[in-house]
A and B are shown apart, each in its own frame.
Chain A
Amino acid sequence: NAGVTQTPKFRVLKTGQSMTLLCAQDMNHEYMYWYRQDPGMGLRLIHYSVGEGTTAKGEVPDGYNVSRLKKQNFLLGLESAAPSQTSVYFCASSYSSGNGGYTFGSGTRLTVV
């Protein structure tokens, strides 16, 4: 009963380095999302996908890219990390209808120094 799996759970990057966060879900959900969580700001949507091969921008997309080549996977990339991207990142997935809520991954704590 895996649900949504995020890797890695922790990471420290130097400014300018790149990295990819992986999200995998086994519930056959159509929709997948990447959020960042910062103190006092709740969760803010970075990018999302409504199906395999599709992606769209959320509230705070700058500095991030995403890809969804397979329905079960949603990748978040940082091409050139900045200290402002220090945050906790959450992946989530859902059915398309609104009443089901999200299933969340356990989060990735990223620190950019």
Chain B
Amino acid sequence: AQTVTQSQPEMSVQEAETVTLSCTYDTSESDYYLFWYKQPPSRQMILVIRQEAYKQQNATENRFSVNFQKAAKSFSLKISDSQLGDAAMYFCAYRITQGDMRFGAGTRLTVKP
């Protein structure tokens, strides 16, 4: 079974600084997809960034980027220039084609003004 581990239940960052959220996963598949979702207090799940395992280049979306290490099965999220609106729960997730998505337990990010 595929599992996703987020080892940091809580993280804190000062506004305008950079923070990295960790995620590791376990799989025997070679072709899969990885995601980071943000869940603000509104409870809505928002897709932040995605990465295809076959792509060596790390995905980037504005202030959000990932460090994808396929051999190490690691998929960390870097948030640059943190803003108050970035405060939320962040979930790492894994999915294979035609499969369901498996989630980590989440990391609660606090942004200090």
Q: Identify the A interface with B (CB < 8 A).
A: 31, 33, 35, 40-45, 48, 50, 58, 88, 90, 92, 96-99, 101-102, 104, 106-107, 109
Contact = CB atoms under 8 A, between A and B. Distances in A.
A98 B91 contact: no
Contacts of A41: 105
Contacts of B44: 104, 106-107
Residue with the highest number of chain A CB atoms closer than 10 Å, among B4, B32, B45: B45
Contacts, number: 60
A97 B98 contact: yes
21 contacts: A31-B100, A33-B100, A35-B103, A40-B105, A41-B105, A42-B4, A44-B103, A45-B100, A50-B98, A92-B45, A97-B98, A98-B32, A98-B96, A98-B97, A98-B98, A99-B50, A102-B47, A102-B101, A104-B45, A106-B44, A107-B44
Interface of B: 4, 6, 9, 32-33, 35, 42-45, 47, 50, 52, 91, 95-106
